[in-house]
Amino acid sequence: MQTIWMADDDTRLTGMVGEYLQEAGFTFQAHPSGDAVLHALLETQTAPPDALILDVMMPGIDGLQTCQRLRHALPALPILMLTAKGDPLDRIIGLELGADDYLAKPFEPRELLARIKALLRRASVQTHGSDEYTQTALRFGSLTIDPNTRTVRLNDALCELTAYQFDLLHALAQRAGRVLTRDQIMEAVRGRELEAFDRSIDVHIGRIRQAIETDVKNPQRILTVRGVGYVLAKEQS
């Protein structure tokens, strides 16, 4: 049985989420703060959960700081951030610090469950690979994207990407040379369209560029087509 942790000082909300996730077949554990999560995972070295839900606004160490510290210590841990509705800045910062996904409050429990299941699917494939079929690694000059091991290498050096960032890069690679709008990218990766003014794709593209581009300010691999979207260059060195 998979375990989900949630860090939020709203006991009413954690109680509701816990009941819903337990009915869906998960083990659930609530923590009142980011400090409590960091203490459990980094100091007492408790076994990490299969996924973590982090509220941005918490007493002590907030969700953003918690996410940043956990991403360095546990890079494979799927993290979903809960943000205030209508506050895109928290979403952007959270994604920049390594969160895999976000959900604005108030939210429907069914959507939260769907997001968690999607994170867990990606994490499972990243860890164990897919037994259904073997896919060919995609090579663009010195850049290699291997969907079987879910790894990205540049000049044989491993690039650090979250599960979601790998999916995004792989979606671009499968359509190399073709300009994709942000909605098309979101549909390919998450199966849904972007919300109005959602900049999450841009944030993730920025982090992927940091991992695979020689000069982030002058990208040669993932190109921006202004007013349209992004394209992965077919011809790369």
Give strand pairing partners of 140.
Answer: 143
What is the tens place of the pLDDT at every residue in 82-122?
A: 987 666 777 778 777 888 888 888 899 999 999 999 888 87
Contact 181, 234 (CB under 8 A): no
Instruction: Give the amino acid at 142.
Output: S
Structure tokens at 22: 């337990």
Q: Which domains does the chain have, with CATH numbers?
A: 3-128 (3.40.50.2300), 138-232 (1.10.10.10)
More confident residue, 163 or 52: 52
Picking from 148, 106, 110, 112, the residue whose alpha carbon sits closest to that of residue 130 is 148
Quick one: how far is CA 129 from the chain centroid?
18
Number of H helices, E strands in the chain: 8, 12
Walk across the sheet containing 3-7 and list its strands.
27-31, 3-7, 51-55, 79-84, 101-105
Query: Helix 88-96 crosses helix 200-212 at what angle (to 10 degrees)?
Result: 20
Phi, psi angle pair for 144, to nearest 5°: -125, 130
Say what the pTM is.
0.66
What is the tens place of the pLDDT at every residue in 161-210?
A: 887 788 899 999 999 999 999 888 888 776 554 454 457 788 889 999 99
Picking from 49, 8, 52, 2, the residue whose alpha carbon sits closest to that of residue 27 is 2
More confident residue, 137 or 4: 4
Q: Own/partner pairs for 112-115, CB < 8 Å, 24+ apart? A: 112/17, 112/20, 112/53, 112/80, 113/20, 113/21, 113/24, 115/80
What is the tens place of the pLDDT at every residue in 128-173?
A: 554 445 578 899 999 999 988 888 999 999 998 887 788 899 999 9
